[in-house]
Every structure is written in C-alpha cells, then in structure tokens.
Structure 1
C-alpha cells in the first residue's frame, strides 16, 4: 500500500504525533499493511520500531528483512500500567532522535488483558495518548487482532484513533471522539467490595502518621509481596495528602481486602479533578521540583485508579479516588 491517503493520494502526515489503528485478520494481512509502513520510514531516514506479540514480530521481521528494524520487548515497553507505557514511548523518541532519525514509526500491539477491567485501562490509554504525545515526532500504528480481541475493544479503536489504515490506505475515522470528551464518557467500573463493610475506615482524617500506621497494620497480615503492599501504602499516602491539601473537609478513607485484591477509597468534599488526563504524567511536566506527582505516582503504583464525584460526576457530591492493587 501507499502510506498516504486512501487510494495513494496526498502525502504522509506532517511531523508531530500521528496515531493510527490497524485491524488485521491474519498475519499475512498485518504484513501487507505494516511492512510498507515500516519500510517507508527506513527509506525516508526515519526509525522503524516493532513492539508486538511474538507471532506478529516474527512475521514482520521475516517479511521486512532489514537489520535497521528495531524490535522491542512488548512486556518491558508497555509495562503493566499505562503511565509507564507513555514514558517508554517518550524515551524511545528521545533515543532515536539522538541517533539522527527525523521521526520514529512504531508498529505497536498492546497485550490488552483478558477482562473488561483491563480492556478499559488500555482504552483510556489509547485516548490519553493523543494528548500525552502531542508534538512528539512519533507515528504510531496500533495493531488490533480481529480474531483474538473482543468486539468492544475492536470498536473502541475507531473512537480513540484519528485514522484507520488498511491495504487501501489511511482514512479518517468517522467514530473518532475528541479525547477529553471520550474519557469523561467512560464509565467508572463497579467494585463489589464497596457494597460490603470495609476492613478499616476513618471518617475525618487529621492524623497522617496515625492513619498510615493503621492502614499498614491492616495490610500486614496479607499474603502478598512486601513491595506490592508498600507501593499500595505509598499510593494511599499520596492520595490522602492530595485530598487534605487540595480538597475540602471532611477527608475520609475506607479500606477493603480480598484474596485477589486490595481496594481503598479516599473521599473529600471538594470539586475533584476536571482534567481527564490527570495522573498520566507529572502535573508540571519535566519540572518535578514543583510537585504535582501524587496522582501520577498512584497510577504507576496501583493497577487501577478510578476518579469519581466532583467535576467528573457532579451529582455524586464531593470527590473520590479509588485505588486497586491486584494480588497476583
């Protein structure tokens, strides 16, 4: 295919972040579309990178046959949590730019997990990426295996990627939704544990040190790696501190534990966050000395961070952050 507009008309997209989706039915289908994309980048002096499943990577490597192709480990690049994936691609762009590449073309294929909860996290990621990588010289093509992925995941691709690509070329996605609007519309999943009595609760947080000790004591008896528990405890600290500093009283905390997960909600009477991209990078960019890292750290330390109430769901009253860590 000609990697321009459908039918081969026009020119490749201009510099800056480009975010396309590719649905493929077979490895031959993937090769037919992705190899010209990668080869076109190499011929233009750009870097070409594959971050995909083992079968897809092997097929693309065999078909392209170019030692300049960069193959990255999928698990290490995307990581288990979405803010880490955003950081990985920024670092990738910086490394390739240092080698003289004018742009980086990436064929990426996320392992989207096996549950609707995991699918939602990566759906959020796809929408956030449009803003988080804005201005970066990356042209990403996200591959979706139509034989393996469920219908809701495949349908979300057209909403979170401005263009779709096939063997006929690139076409604007008619379902694409402006990222902030799309993120605000996504549901906050139910957590069944919240309908049961909490293992621990604090109705009006005032003593940070005492609260930390109390939560740590509740978590001490869990059958879980110490570093997992410590990460969760740090996320609770960060979100409680945020609620006290930026929200309105009273600040409350509730904690639940189950054999497979730990859940904690921190609530306050304030307006909450109106920024749907909050926590997918430091609040003040590269200047970490200015703080604003609490929610960003929490998203990296926990498997799921859900925000409700406040500006997100005004009818709920107050603002609430729910932290969930899976005990694998």
Structure 2
C-alpha cells in the first residue's frame, strides 16, 4: 500500500472516531485506542524519519513494535524546533503552526498534512466543552489574528470556531501585541445593547491586560446572560504573573460574570486536540488554577517520572500526551508541563522549572473539592 493510501485509511478511521464521539457520544475503549494508536505509530515509524530515529533509541522499529500505547516513546516537544517532524513531504502541508515560544530562539513548527483532522478535533472538543447549551455567540477575540499571524494555531482555531458557531460579527482585538481596548469596549457594548451573548476568548496575558484597562478606567461591563470567557495559554515566559484565582476574580468583577462561566483551555501548537475545564462540575479542584481538565477520548495523557515511568494517579510528573489526531506528525509528545492524573482528567501544576514537584503526591488537602 502506498503512503498516501495508508495515510488516507488512517485518517478516515480517526475522523470516524471523532465523529462518533462528537455526534453520538460514543466512547473509545482501551482496546480501540490501543489498536488505532499502534497503527498510527507503525505508520510514523515507516514515514516519519526523525521520529523513527528517536524511537530506535528505545528499541522500537517496524520489526519490534510496542504492545500498548503506553509504551510509545513520547517525543520531547522541543524536537519540533530542531527537525521537521512529519510523516509526509512537508511541502504538501495543509497547515503549518508555529509556537509562540516560551524561550528565545526558533519557534517549533507543526506540519499537518490534512486540516480535516485538526478541524474535526478542535470543533468537536470546543462544542462539547463551551457550547453545551447550543448558544450562537458573538466571538470577541484577544488572540493572534490570522491576518497577521497565519501560523498561530490559537488564531486558526478561534477563527474556525467563530466562523462555524458565531453570529457573523466576530471581532479581533490584538494588533500584533497591542490590545485594542477602545474597539473591544465599543463592540462589547453593542452586543450588550442587543442582548447578544458573547464568547470572549483570550490568552491569560491579554485577559489580564484587558481587566487592568477596565480597572484603570473604573469601568465594568456586565455581559449578557449566556456569555462566557475562554482563557488559555497561562503566563509562559512572562515577567508578570498572577494566579488564575486572582485573574478569574478580577475578570468576574469586570464583566459581572460568574466565575464558573470562565473556562480554561489547554492546548499546544504540537497537538491537534485540546483539554478544557468542565465549568460548574463538582469534579474540580477548589482553587480555580487547579481545576481538573478533561480531554476527548482520542487524546490520552501520562504523567512521567524522571525515568519516564508512569506516575501513580495523583502524583506529579511531566505530562506526555498521545493524540490520535496527530497522524501526520508525532502522536506522542512529551511536554515541559508538570501535572497529575486526577479523576479521569489532568491537573496542571506548572512548568519543568518546578521539577522538584515531580514524584510528589497530592494529598487530600491538595485535592479538596469545591
């Protein structure tokens, strides 16, 4: 079978898996996840030269395959800065995403052969997490504008979401790194006057800047009933940091919005799928910055110790994600994020600079429920 036919067959299986969950709430069994993950892994060993070379160091090849998805070697995310991680000729990429970067130097590049996989994964996850009520919202976006940053995965994601689920009046309020506060306030007030619920999507840093602008002007803007905020990105690489509790409390005051209408999304340019908080759920950490995040069934995560062994649930490790939608790049990605597996989801606890947390168990006080 040719590479193209093999890729197409795998993509159809992945799309069917996403569709079954998105529209029919069909779960993915452990055996089904294993079967598809191992088929994708074999495909990547065959056609993804850089990843295959990395896996050879773990003793894996087409002649010696793992027996379960947990044995698939996770490729460090920094490898996307150092090599073309792709199971196809990169000049055929349908999408190319670049990281915003947490350190100086070259951004990572994620080459995606067929945007159908990315679109299906992002839209299914967003609709389930953010649009359970089926609302048609006005999207006011404090994320990179694709017109200026065409390789931003976050900008692409929110552009697709707004085009499919929005009211046709989408606004973008970042001009490069400058926040267009006056334009945002004018458009938000217009939506309020019309009683049009809003989805404000913002990076944590942009949301902080917006809230500070409201506070400096002594402005509050009660958003219409049904409005919500999606926050993402944290404060990676920023000199100024506030806790999520503080950020959410200040945003709640600025927009007269219940804190449980503020949802955190967790994703990365090297993945096609995302995690989300489950707002209003009783299964969450009392501290908003430690809410449990949940993934769709085609995305699974391991927490690893220093020797890349699985940590017990509730024990802090480096997070390694296995994303079946990453068929054309690398399905297993080792991050620099620290976290723990809790109640079928993950809790984020910082970056690798806090490596002293690795191997620490979260006790009952740490996991106190709200």
TM-score bin, normalised by smaller chain: under 0.3
Structure with max Cα Rg:
1
TM-score, with length taken from structure 1: 0.26
